[in-house]
Chain A
Amino acid sequence: MNAQDDVRGAMLAAVPSLRAFAISLCGDVDRANDLVQETLLRAWSHLDSFEPGTNMSAWLFTILRNHFRTEYRKRRREVEDADGGYAERLTAREEQTAHIEFGELREALLKLSPDQREALILVGASGFSYEEAAKICNCAVGTIKSRVNRARLRLAESLGVEAVQEIASEPETPLAASGGRDE
């Protein structure tokens, strides 16, 4: 009974970060919740394959990640412009929720390849070590490192490019524009 309480507690404790991870991966709250739900169901029915004493959270992240990848591949085949679909849903989410301030960042995240995106989130936001992230993604530590590095570069680039474009549309006032005065 105690062991079960522990498991339940650990699973519930992981839910908030699982959701954050899932939303970062797919850019869609509803779909992310589905991913988390499926993860918990799978974890529950495979509890025997969880090694007690190891990191429950990392185990759940692995399940969620694998499930997402399988689903992603399926969707890729079904819908041709998966990215376009993400972008639309992302916009819908922005309108619905109060998370607008991260809209640009989320959009840029979704432009990364899934490999880069998951690596960057795991290391840069979830707080996993490179080694843990490599285990979750089932690849070498060096691979994770270079994916994170490339992801950062591309993210900065795509965010930077947008900012440059914004300025380019107001050629007369390149610097004053940032002050926002309009008199």
Chain B
Amino acid sequence: MGRKHFTSKEVPDREPIVSRDVIFTRDAAIPPPGYGHRGKSEMNDKIRQPPDTSMKAEKTKRKKGRLSADIQYKLGQQLRAMYTDVVNEGVPDQFSELIQRLEKRDEK
């Protein structure tokens, strides 16, 4: 009990996130087939290596040329979900009011 640092209260809260954001949570530590191999075996570098590695040269030294289609798909899904989350908030009043003001100003 003491070994794990989350309390029993935190666990149920976290569960749905774990299962939804597969690649962003613990599960990501188990790479899907293809992904892990590539990361470790550092030979798959026929894929063009972008020249701009200047500032992150240190970190990118474990070479990965490409993400698996699966990871890429999930990443895209998450990005779009995050984006849509904001889009769904619609047009805040301040902006429709702003346009109205601009129109009125031009009418004069």
A interface list, Cβ under 8 A from B? 4, 8, 11-12, 15-17, 19-21, 23-24, 33, 36-37, 40-41, 44, 99, 101-102, 104-106, 120-121, 124-126, 146, 149-150, 152-157, 159-160, 162-164, 166-167, 169-170, 172-174, 177-178, 180-182
Bound together, the chains give a CA A157 to CA B72 distance in angstroms of 12
Bound together, the chains give a CA A17 to CA B86 distance in angstroms of 8
Bound together, the chains give a CA A163 to CA B49 distance in angstroms of 26
Given A12-B96, A155-B75, A182-B1, CB of A19 within 8 Å of CB of B103: no
B interface list, Cβ under 8 A from A? 1, 3-6, 8, 11-12, 14-15, 17-18, 20-21, 23-29, 31, 48, 50, 52, 56, 59, 64, 66-67, 71-72, 75-76, 78-92, 94-96, 98-99, 102-103
Residues of A within 8 A of B71 (CB): 156
Q: Could you list 10 examples of A-B contacts with CB < 8 Å?
A: A8-B103, A16-B88, A16-B90, A17-B87, A146-B50, A160-B29, A163-B29, A173-B3, A180-B18, A182-B11
Bound together, the chains give a CA A161 to CA B79 distance in angstroms of 18
Bound together, the chains give a CA A11 to CA B84 distance in angstroms of 18
Bound together, the chains give a CA A166 to CA B88 distance in angstroms of 32
Q: Are A164 and B28 in contact (CB under 8 A)?
A: yes
Q: Are A20 and B86 in contact (CB under 8 A)?
A: yes
With beta carbons under 8 angstroms apart, the residue of A11, A20, A99, A181 that contacts B87 is A20
Q: Are A152 and B83 in contact (CB under 8 A)?
A: no
Which residue in chain A gives the minimum CB-CB distance to B88? A16
Residues of B within 8 A of A159 (CB): 23-24, 28
Residues of B within 8 A of A170 (CB): 3-5
Bound together, the chains give a CA A120 to CA B28 distance in angstroms of 21
B contact patch SS: helix
With beta carbons under 8 angstroms apart, the residue of B20, B72, B88, B91 that contacts A12 is B91
Q: How far is the CB of B11 from chain A (nearest CB, A)?
A: 4
Bound together, the chains give a CA A36 to CA B95 distance in angstroms of 8
Apart from the given pairs A104-B24, A105-B24, 7 other A-B contacts in the complex at a CB distance below 8 Å:
A17-B83, A40-B95, A121-B79, A163-B28, A166-B25, A180-B14, A182-B1
Residues of B within 8 A of A167 (CB): 26, 29
Q: How far is the CB of A151 from chain B (nearest CB, A)?
A: 10
